[in-house]
């Protein structure tokens, strides 16, 4: 576990929760790592006090310094993370009953412990607060729901012929990064146009080094061919610099230079060369024409607008870099309906820039309370001055109005989707005569080819649609299952899923109804499913119910089977629910469409997981099974012998002749392919 020293002497740790190797999270929704602080105040609550009385005891020992505080419930879960210019004054408000809403009153009542850390300045407290909220996700904070990183354009460094790539994730590779872009599609379209404009390679270094003649991209004028020196290194370097200048905001200079070169070539009657510059100029115009609005007065800025209505907040953000619009994205942070739009936006901004580069200018649709503090904190984080403005007139105000309109439209779409999902879940309850509206539905499906590379898939749906961060896949491992035995595979998936759930969460108490005083938005997404949908008929359901009875959870989970209809025709499915005969739904029933959509999503996920596993098996190399043979030795063996099959046939003396392969390693490789060698 690695720690990072904080300015006040505390330590910030990142911890990764251990998980089974064969249970994986859907890749586009990876969870944020948990974090904890070595706090310099607080500790275990041994007083027996709760709520305001407990907080009053802590206030007696608090300093008049800036810092961050955490509030815990009796189970040890973090309820709230807050920051303060003066810890003593801020926390005393809770003890004195100075609360602003029923939600905060509930938070105070549930508080069973508190912990504190002091910082040198309020800006440090703000940055630390944002870091902790994103990682701990406290129930009573405004939470940024952001499960995807932004893509960037990378022009690599440390190579005689730099390449241009789409990049997402940590910036570990040396080179120049340009972004963020709102979507991978926007990056792909921009790179395609930049290839035509600047003829920069997109091949990997390994492919580049092995080329003996130009590839097809050179033939169709999408690459200048630096691999085989169709262009000099100096000439290629000029193309790369032009691309960097264009992406760095000097697009007009680059286009002017190309126009001059085109005119000069035309005057010299070198029309072929002039046509090359003409095509490159057209490609650059194509890049900018696909950027939407491009205000001349906004070189580098992020523009935020919020629309707050009906208990849902939508924050729309547009990215402008180099005078170009690089896309937009809508966010729906989890926030109490009683909070104003300005309060939600204020809490959102610090979390948003916790792991993203900060532009020199941020434009907002409305003034936030801590705008000066936020600007100071972001300037400190970015290493350059950051201006946060709320434009009132002119071109920038027009731009903000445009973003507000987009926020309003996205908000309307979200409200419609949420209302539709609520109606579908209510209809699901009525159709299957359930005692309550389901909050978590798990759908299971298996995928294999003749029993090989078998995978079980689980997808999850809730009040807000599919919850991809909860998807799981199960690699079928049992050797007792006959290849192609769907019943056996489902038994293994069910056993592993619910045995682990019992171990980690315990058996749910279905006799206790949800607290009516707690808003639905405040309740955490349940770990236990209310319903499990199985893609199969009576046979599958018999296997599943046997497992549920064996684990003693038949009263905790309702299992429903969905069998394909006659001739496997959609709309004629049969449903197998507990304590009733199988039945079908009318072909145009909205609940039927809802179930079909969930089943299709489970099928898509299971098929995708199976194909990924099958592809991995297909490219598996026999050398991977030999202990002590890492990438370097594997590469050396393959370069020397050509194929893994040739390695398996090589004599011991031939293996020892390979550079980097010692006698011990050579004997290990030889023994792996010759069972009688060690006898």
Q: What CATH number corresponds to the domain at position 638? A: 1.10.150.20
Three-class SS string for 596-629?
HHHHHHHHHHHHHHHHHHHHHHHCCCHHHHCCCC
| Residue 61, pLDDT score | 85
- Tell me the pLDDT band of 82, cut-offs 50, 70 and 90: very high
Smallest Cα–Cα separation from 379: which of 361, 406, 352?
361
Q: Do 354 and 339 sit in the same domain of this protein?
A: yes
Residue 634: burial class (beta carbons within 10 Å; 0-12, 13-18, 19+): middle
Residue 566 placed within a domain: yes
| Residue 14, pLDDT score | 36
- Tell me the pLDDT band of 303, cut-offs 50, 70 and 90: very high
Distance CA 322, CA 249 (A): 3
- Tell me the pLDDT band of 169, cut-offs 50, 70 and 90: confident
Mean pLDDT of 483-509: 82
Q: Do 400 and 461 sit in the same domain of this protein?
A: no
Of 95-104, 293-302, 334-343, 625-634, give the range with the top mean pLDDT. 334-343
Whichever domain contains 442, its CATH number is: 3.30.420.340
Distance CA 16, CA 35 (A): 9
Q: Do 261 and 369 sit in the same domain of this protein?
A: no
C-alpha of 391 from chain center = 32
| Residue 21, pLDDT score | 36
- Tell me the pLDDT band of 6, cut-offs 50, 70 and 90: very low
Q: Do 513 and 597 sit in the same domain of this protein?
A: yes
Contacts of 673 (CB under 8 A, 6+ apart): 622, 647, 648, 649
- Tell me the pLDDT band of 670, cut-offs 50, 70 and 90: confident
Residue 68 placed within a domain: yes
Q: Looking at residue 334, what DSSP letter applies?
A: B
Q: Do 104 and 215 sit in the same domain of this protein?
A: no
For the chain, how many residues are written? 679
169-173, 227-231, 232-236 — which is least confidently predicted? 169-173
| Residue 540, pLDDT score | 81
Contact 153, 181 (CB under 8 A): yes
- Tell me the pLDDT band of 253, cut-offs 50, 70 and 90: low
Mean pLDDT of 179-184: 76
Residue 431 placed within a domain: no
| Residue 390, pLDDT score | 92
| Residue 83, pLDDT score | 92
Residue 520 placed within a domain: yes
Distance CA 487, CA 537 (A): 11
Smallest Cα–Cα separation from 208: which of 232, 222, 227, 235?
227
Mean pLDDT of 247-265: 70
The string of pLDDT tens digits covering residues 97-148 is 665 677 788 888 888 888 899 998 998 899 889 889 888 888 888 888 765 6
Q: Do 227 and 80 sit in the same domain of this protein?
A: no
Q: Spell out the alpha helix ranges (H) of 356-454.
A: 371-382, 394-431
Cross-strand bridge partners of residue 69: 82, 116
Residue 424 placed within a domain: no
Q: Do 206 and 318 sit in the same domain of this protein?
A: no
Q: Kindly tell me if the per-residue pLDDT of 642 is higher than 90.
A: no
If one counts the domains in the chain, the total is 5
Q: Do 186 and 42 sit in the same domain of this protein?
A: no
| Residue 198, pLDDT score | 83
Q: Kindly tell me if the per-residue pLDDT of 403 is higher than 50.
A: yes
| Residue 317, pLDDT score | 92
Mean pLDDT of 405-417: 85
Full residue range of the structural domain in which residue 494 is found? 436-617
Residue 430 placed within a domain: no
The string of pLDDT tens digits covering residues 451-481 is 567 788 899 998 888 888 899 888 877 766 6
Q: Do 285 and 320 sit in the same domain of this protein?
A: no
Mean pLDDT of 574-578: 86
- Token pair for residue 429? 């309850």
Q: Do 659 and 638 sit in the same domain of this protein?
A: yes
| Residue 10, pLDDT score | 38
Q: Kindly tell me if the per-residue pLDDT of 668 is higher than 80.
A: yes
Residue in this structure with the two tokens 């999270």, named with its chain if needed: 25
Whichever domain contains 47, its CATH number is: 3.40.1440.10
Three-class SS string for 107-170?
HHHHCCEEEEEECCCHHHHHHHHHHHHHHHCCCCCCECCCCCCCEEEEEECCCCCCCEEEEECC
Q: Do 155 and 281 sit in the same domain of this protein?
A: yes
Q: Choose one of 230, 255, 289: the last residue of a domain.
A: 289
Q: Choose one of 260, 289, 318: the last residue of a domain.
A: 289
More confident: 147 or 387? 387
Q: Do 234 and 359 sit in the same domain of this protein?
A: no
Q: Over the chain, what is the mean pLDDT? A: 79
42-51, 479-488, 520-529 — which is least confidently predicted? 42-51
Q: Kindly tell me if the per-residue pLDDT of 295 is higher than 70.
A: no
Q: Kindly tell me if the per-residue pLDDT of 30 is higher than 50.
A: no
Q: Return the biggest CA–CA distance within the chain.
A: 92
Share of the chain above pLDDT 70, in %: 79
198-202, 288-292, 349-353, 619-623 — which is least confidently predicted? 288-292
| Residue 40, pLDDT score | 47
Residue 643 placed within a domain: yes
| Residue 304, pLDDT score | 94
Three-class SS string for 216-236?
HHHHCCCCCCHHHCCCCHHHH
| Residue 69, pLDDT score | 93
Distance CA 374, CA 130 (A): 11
Q: Choose one of 382, 413, 444: the last residue of a domain.
A: 413
231-245, 323-337, 345-359 — which is least confidently predicted? 323-337
Distance CA 473, CA 495 (A): 14
| Residue 22, pLDDT score | 39
More confident: 670 or 452? 670
Residue 25 placed within a domain: yes
């Amino acid at each position: 576990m690695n720690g990072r020293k904080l300015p006040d002497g505390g330590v910030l740790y990142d911890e990764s929760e251990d998980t089974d190797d064969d249970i994986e999270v859907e890749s586009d929704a990876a969870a944020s790592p948990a974090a904890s602080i070595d706090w310099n105040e607080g500790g275990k609550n041994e007083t027996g006090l709760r709520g305001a009385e407990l907080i009053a005891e802590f206030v007696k020992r608090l300093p008049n310094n800036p810092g961050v505080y955490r509030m815990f419930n009796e189970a040890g879960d973090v309820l709230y993370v807050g920051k303060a210019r003066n810890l003593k004054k801020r926390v005393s408000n809770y003890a004195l009953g100075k609360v602003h809403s029923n939600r905060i009153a509930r938070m105070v009542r549930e508080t069973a412990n508190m912990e504190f850390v002091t910082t040198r300045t309020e800006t440090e407290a703000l940055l630390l607060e944002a870091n902790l909220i994103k990682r701990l996700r406290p129930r009573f904070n405004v939470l940024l729901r952001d499960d995807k990183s932004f893509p960037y354009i990378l022009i690599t460094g440390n190579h005689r012929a730099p390449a241009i790539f789409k990049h997402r994730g940590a910036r570990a590779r040396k080179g120049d990064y340009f972004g963020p872009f709102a979507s991978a599609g926007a990056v792909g379209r921009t790179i395609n146009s930049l290839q035509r404009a600047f003829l920069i390679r997109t091949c990997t270094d390994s492919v580049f080094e092995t080329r003996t003649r130009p590839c097809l991209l050179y033939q169709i004028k999408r690459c200048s061919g630096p691999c085989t020196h169709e262009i000099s290194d100096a000439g290629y370097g000029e193309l790369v610099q032009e691309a960097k200048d264009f992406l760095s905001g000097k697009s007009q200079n680059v286009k002017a230079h190309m126009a001059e070169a085109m005119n000069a070539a035309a005057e010299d009657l070198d029309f072929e060369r002039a046509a090359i510059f003409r095509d490159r100029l057209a490609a650059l115009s194509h890049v900018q024409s696909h950027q939407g609005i491009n205000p001349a007065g906004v070189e580098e800025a992020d523009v935020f607008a919020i629309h707050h209505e009906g208990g849902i907040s939508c924050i729309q953000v547009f990215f402008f870099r180099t005078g170009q619009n690089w896309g937009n994205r809508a966010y729906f942070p989890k926030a109490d309906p009683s909070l104003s739009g300005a309060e939600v936006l204020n809490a959102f901004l610090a979390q948003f820039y916790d792991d993203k580069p900060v532009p020199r200018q941020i434009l907002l649709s409305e003034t936030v309370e801590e705008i000066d503090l936020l600007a100071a904190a972001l300037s400190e984080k970015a290493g350059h001055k950051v201006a946060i403005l709320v434009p009132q007139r002119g071109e920038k105000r027009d731009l903000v109005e445009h973003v507000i309109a987009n926020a309003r439209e996205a908000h309307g779409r979200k409200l419609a989707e949420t209302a539709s999902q609520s109606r579908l879940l209510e209809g699901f309850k009525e159709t299957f005569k359930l005692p309550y509206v389901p909050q978590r539905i798990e759908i299971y499906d298996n995928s294999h080819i003749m029993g090989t590379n078998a995978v079980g898939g689980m997808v999850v749906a809730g009040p807000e649609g599919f919850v991809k961060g909860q998807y799981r896949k199960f690699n079928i491992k049992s050797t007792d299952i006959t290849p192609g035995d769907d019943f056996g595979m489902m038994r293994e998936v069910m056993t592993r899923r619910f045995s682990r759930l019992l171990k980690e969460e315990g058996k749910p108490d279905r006799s206790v109804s949800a607290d009516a005083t707690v808003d639905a938005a405040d309740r955490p997404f349940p770990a236990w499913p209310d319903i499990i949908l199985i893609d199969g008929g009576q046979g599958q359901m018999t296997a599943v119910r046997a497992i549920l009875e064996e684990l003693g959870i038949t009263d905790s989970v309702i299992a429903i089977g969905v069998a394909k209809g006659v001739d496997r025709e959609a709309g004629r499915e049969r449903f197998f629910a507990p304590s009733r005969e199988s039945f079908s739904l009318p072909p145009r029933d909205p609940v039927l469409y809802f179930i079909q959509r969930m089943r299709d999503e489970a099928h898509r996920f299971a098929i995708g997981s199976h194909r990924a596993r099958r592809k991995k098996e297909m490219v598996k190399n026999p050398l991977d099974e030999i202990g002590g043979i890492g990438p370097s030795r594997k590469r050396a063996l393959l370069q020397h012998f050509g194929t893994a099959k040739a390695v398996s046939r090589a004599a011991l003396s031939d293996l020892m002749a390979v550079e980097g392969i010692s006698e011990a390693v050579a004997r290990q490789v030889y023994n792996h392919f010759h069972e009688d060698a060690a006898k």
